[in-house]
Amino acid sequence: MKKTVILLCLCLVTLTARAQVLRPDAFPPQDETLDAKSLTMANTLEEMYQWNRYPTYDVYVEMMNHFAETYPALCHLDTIGTSVEGRLILSLVMTGTEENDLSRPKFFYTSTMHGDEITGFYFMLRLCDTLLSSYGTSAEITNLLNRVVVYINPLSNPDGTYRGGNHTVANSVRYNANWIDLNRNYPNPFGEEPLDSIQPENLAMMDYAARHHFAMSANLHGGSEVMNYPWDSFTSYERPHPQAEWWKAVSKRYVDTCRRYNSRIFTNVNSQGFIAGGDWYVIYNGRQDYFNYYHHTYELTMEVSTSKKLPTEQLQRYWNIQSHSLINYIKEVFNAPADQPEGIAPHVEADCRVYPNPTRGWVTVETPQGSRNINLSNRPAGVYIIPVEGHPVKITKL
Ligand SMILES: [Zn+2]
């Protein structure tokens, strides 16, 4: 018999304690004052192919088109969207030509949502070139591309990178043209909506993710050297990622491989070179948690160089240290747990009532099957999804 009581959904999430500990990369280290001479620009495709410079915007776009024109059987160029100022947000889609019955998982690399963190921008262009030029000659790359579809977006905040004009990255900034931090601007699965409206760069990325269902991804940053795995919205004590052990193993493999080439890399945050994002510092409305939660994409944040604007004379060295790890990380898609486990993105029942919510102590939960009192006193602050009589209920502890 239908219940006559209309139960209100009180799934309000009020993360009032939003005191954010800002990551080191929120406050640029000294290298921001680098003189432009250490950021040599490639003004032609030929100069860019020397791999010791950053591209001008025009050379970047030309190179992405050049890949598609040179290797038409292996790749094509997608436009994810355009920035506030109308620059292109591009993605090169690569896969092998071998016909087989394998369903190929989709893997996504995306870099430089913070426009001044440009090492990853260079890495991604060089990775495109390496994958395409090695297909058919390297058994490793050939096999990889025959089994996976690799999407690479080298630059997701072009307005930030070319803030000083299309000819230079010397005046690149963290923010987009509306002066908004794109990595605090995604829908937050665990809390409030972002303070500012979701920016065109992120709307385009959200749409791209929704269309492609990437199995695994990474987004590249700079300012530190550490593998930052989910969650960013919680410490691991408050809410560990259900696949935290897998994330640690993946991160360790990346770091260990780099250390075969340089033992001191990935040591500035901690000695192991990887960390749960929230244990480093908690952020909300970041991209990583959005992708893991809403799209079931295994995504982590790679901080690939302590210097945000790595001087061009160091680009080769950093590439040599990390290129093997960047390729190996793509292969991890085959080791990924089949799907994000239950509980990652639970459907929160609407016909439940929680009061008071948020709370610090006892909370009463009413479901169609009955009510239950839960004591949150001994739990750390955060958002909890607690099954009550078989119904997932969202409760906020202040
Ligand atoms: Zn960053």
**pLDDT one-digit tens code per residue, 191-207:** 666 777 899 999 999 99
Decide: residue 47, CB within 10 A, 0-12 exposed, 13-18 middle, 19+ buried: middle
Q: Distance, CA 25 to ligand 1 centroid (Å)?
A: 6
Q: Is the pLDDT of residue 26 over 70?
A: no
The most confident of the ranges 246-255, 351-360, 365-374 is 246-255
- Read off the pLDDT band of 37 (50, 70, 90): low
Q: Distance, CA 195 to ligand 1 centroid (Å)?
A: 19
CA–CA separation, 80 vs 4, rounded Å?
48
Cβ atoms of 345 and 360 closer than 8 Å: no
Domain residue spans of the chain: 1-18+346-398, 34-334
pLDDT in tens, 46-87: 999 999 999 999 999 999 999 999 999 999 999 999 999 999
Q: Is the pLDDT of residue 314 over 60?
A: yes
Return mean pLDDT, the chain: 85
CA–CA separation, 310 vs 217, rounded Å?
23
CA–CA separation, 209 vs 214, rounded Å?
7
CA–CA separation, 174 vs 309, rounded Å?
11
Q: Is the pLDDT of residue 306 over 60?
A: yes
Cis peptide before 356 (omega within 30 of 0): yes
Decide: residue 31, CB within 10 A, 0-12 exposed, 13-18 middle, 19+ buried: middle
CA–CA separation, 368 vs 190, rounded Å?
24
382 has which bridge partners? 397
Amino acid 339: pLDDT: 57
pLDDT in tens, 317-355: 999 999 999 999 999 998 888 655 444 444 556 677 777
pLDDT mean over 283-297 = 89
Decide: residue 1, CB within 10 A, 0-12 exposed, 13-18 middle, 19+ buried: exposed
Lowest mean pLDDT among 61-65, 119-123, 199-203, 210-214: 210-214
**Which residues does 56 contact at the CB level (< 8 Å), separation at least 6?**
41, 42, 43, 166, 167, 168
Give the number of other Cβ atoms within 10 Å of residue 16's Cβ: 11
The listed CATH number (3.40.50.300, 3.40.630.10, 3.30.1480.10, 1.10.150.120) that belongs to domain 34-334: 3.40.630.10
List the structure tokens of 328: 């190996």
Q: In this structure, which amino acid lies at residue 231?
A: W
Q: Distance, CA 289 to ligand 1 centroid (Å)?
A: 14
- % of the chain beyond a pLDDT of 90: 65
Q: Is the pLDDT of residue 141 over 50?
A: yes
Amino acid 159: pLDDT: 98
Q: Distance, CA 92 to ligand 1 centroid (Å)?
A: 22
Q: Reply yes or no on whether 303 is catalytic.
A: yes
CA–CA separation, 260 vs 298, rounded Å?
26
Q: Is the pLDDT of residue 312 over 70?
A: yes
Q: Distance, CA 111 to ligand 1 centroid (Å)?
A: 9
Half-sphere exposure of 116 (CA within 13 A, CB side): 26
pLDDT mean over 130-139 = 97
Q: Is the pLDDT of residue 175 over 70?
A: yes
Q: Which of 117, 201, 303, 366 is catalytic?
A: 303
Q: Is the pLDDT of residue 130 over 70?
A: yes
SS (H, E, C) the chain: CCCCCCCCCCCCCCCCCCCCCCCHHHCCCHHHHCCHHHCCEECCHHHHCCCCCEECHHHHHHHHHHHHHHCCCCEEEEEEEECCCCCEEEEEEECCCCCCCCCCCEEEEEECCCCCCCHHHHHHHHHHHHHHHHCCCCHHHHHHHHHCEEEEECCCCHHHHCCCCCCCCCCCCCCCCCCCCHHHCCCCCCCCCCCCCCCHHHHHHHHHHHHHCCCEEEEEECCEEEEEECCCCCCCCCCCCCCHHHHHHHHHHHHHHHHCCCCCCCCCCCCCCEEEHHHHCCCCCCHHHHHHHHCCCEEEEEEEECCCCCCHHHHHHHHHHHHHHHHHHHHHHHCCCCCCCCCCCCCCCCCCEEECCCECCEEEEEECCEEEEEECCCCCCEEEEEEECCEEEEEEEC
Amino acid 381: pLDDT: 65
